[in-house]
Structure 1
Amino acid sequence: MQPQTSPAPLAPSPSDVQPVPRLALFDLDHTLLPLDSDYEWGQFICRLGWVDADAFARRNAEFLAQYRAGTLNLDDYIHFATEAIRARGEAASALAHQQFMREVIEPAIRPAALELLEQHRRAGDEIVIITATNAFITTPIARRLGVENLLAVNLQRDPTGWYSGHIDGIPSSREGKVLRMNEWLQARGWDWGDVFTTFYSDSHNDIPLLSQVNLPVATNPDDTLRQHALRQGWRVLELFQSPQSHD
């Protein structure tokens, strides 16, 4: 009698194979937009007369110098950057942001950026914008771009429900972008090995997250990121010409 053997397992049919979720991650300023939305908001409230333009420019230049030196205290910057909206209140700030969208953001949106987003939608990718600019500024921008998932610097709220001038949680800046993506993935029951990730960014500050993803794309890169991308063999994409980024 021949020994009995178990039948060989059937190979999974194509319908049985679960595709790996694909995520398309995007920085915002100088990546999807050819400007820095945080800086432009500051210029906008100067034009509105909400702040003293000269004093605001001097203080902003100090923070920019600290940023470039790697010594910026982001919580101090957020306290400064949100002072005007905290003083004006929620209703006036919302109306001002609508005007900001019409006058500054809408004219800056480029067809090439919209088409890149649409390519990922057509491919079935889930899109996430992850930016070091605060959520007050960026939430309406992400909505205009048709992106539901936004990881921005969250702003703490005071007992009245309006902003306190402090950061809520981990700021999505530099290594913080990796930590925020970790949280986002874990909330969905995923780890990095469960998804295929592409990340587009212009800034050398995003090298930690670019190094984490499956497909890093240096997009309109600053000089430091361009050199790093060329050394690493990363793709370089020019959507439009851009200067330095704050992200």
Structure 2
Amino acid sequence: MTNLALFDLDHTLLPIDSDYEWGQFLVRIGAVDAAEYARRNDEFFAQYQAGTLDPVEYLEFALGTLARYPRRELDAMHQQYMREVIEPAIRPRAQYLVRRHQDAGDLVGIITATNRFVTEPIARAFGVPHLIAATPAVDAQGNLTGKLAGTPTSGPGKVDHMHAWLDKLGMRFEDFGSSHFYSDSHNDIPLLSVVSHPVATNPSAKLAAHASEQGWPLLHLFND
């Protein structure tokens, strides 16, 4: 029987927040107004850490920034971002953890609140073909409109999106022999509570406390 292994991305497989760092990258290359964008990006990041972030408001702020540029130009910027920011941040222990599940024959996916434009190349860098992420709306030419298509992939929404993804694959969650979910964030407690093997990975203080109460294992990938 196939098992399921799901991974959050930011601060779980990566020691950084890819969405926040994408914003910082745009500031560095002069693609956005530095002072205003940095101010808004810092505000949203603080809200995320505090658990008060409105995901639609943040996503449409981020996607609105992307909508300023044609897709070809965005893709070129993202290639630079991968080289300069993401590739140096990928750690062997995180890669090994993903490969271990793949080698065991598990169905492996990344599920993240960060939008698909930012995260799809990162999932490919980890060798993971299945990505559940916030989906930007696009026009007929494939350019981003600045709006969110569908619903956010955060908090309880991760559970709904997981079931919808499995349904598209012709599978049901209940049919897996076991299910793992690795996450750093207390925002992911809804999905961590559903799987048979929740793993608090590089956990925030709030998640670490909850995991200890529940008897969930704690995993630290980036301590050395």
Shared fold per TM-score greater than 0.5: yes
**Corresponding residue to 1:185 among 166, 178, 199:** 166
Letter in 1 for 2:222: F
**Corresponding residue to 1:143 among 124, 135, 139:** 124
CA distances 1:188-229 after superposition (whole Å, capped 9, x unpaired)? 333222012100000000000000001000000000100010
**Corresponding residue to 1:75 among 56, 60, 63:** 56
- Confirm or deny that 1:237 pairs with 2:219: yes
Query: Whole-Å Cα distance in 2 between the matches of residues 68 and 99 of structure 1?
Result: 27
1:219 — aligned with what? 201
Equivalent residues of 2:199, 2:217 under 8 A apart: yes
**Percentage of pairs with the same residue:** 54
Letter in 2 for 1:154: T
Secondary structure at 2:198 match in 1: strand
**Structure 1 runs of 4+ with >4 Å offset:** 68-71
Equivalent residues of 1:50, 1:84 under 8 A apart: no
- Confirm or deny that 1:121 pairs with 2:102: yes
Equivalent residues of 1:120, 1:127 under 8 A apart: yes
Q: What pairs with 1:166-205 in structure 2 (closer than 5 Å)? A: 166-195=147-176, 196-205=178-187
Secondary structure at 2:105 match in 1: coil
- Confirm or deny that 1:228 pairs with 2:222: no
Unpaired runs of at least 5, structure 2: none
Letter in 2 for 1:224: K
2:88 — aligned with what? 107
Letter in 1 for 2:37: F
Letter in 1 for 2:207: L
Q: Which structure has the bigger radius of gyration?
A: 1
Query: Whole-Å Cα distance in 1 between the matches of residues 173 and 64 of structure 2?
Result: 37
Higher mean C-alpha displacement, 60-69 vs 180-189? 60-69
Unpaired runs of at least 5, structure 1: 1-19, 243-247
Secondary structure at 1:206 match in 2: helix
**Corresponding residue to 1:132 among 104, 113, 117:** 113
Shift of 1:159: 4.2
CA distances 1:55-110 after superposition (whole Å, capped 9, x unpaired)? 11222233234445544332221222123321121111100000000000000110
Letter in 2 for 1:122: D
Higher mean C-alpha displacement, 215-224 vs 232-241? 232-241
- Confirm or deny that 1:96 pairs with 2:83: no
Alignment: residue pair count = 223
TM-score when normalising by structure 1? 0.86
Letter in 2 for 1:32: L
Cα separation, partners in 2 of 1:198 and 1:157, compared to 1, 3 Å: same
TM-score when normalising by structure 2? 0.94
Equivalent residues of 2:12, 2:201 under 8 A apart: yes
Query: Whole-Å Cα distance in 1 between the matches of residues 15 and 50 of structure 2?
Result: 24
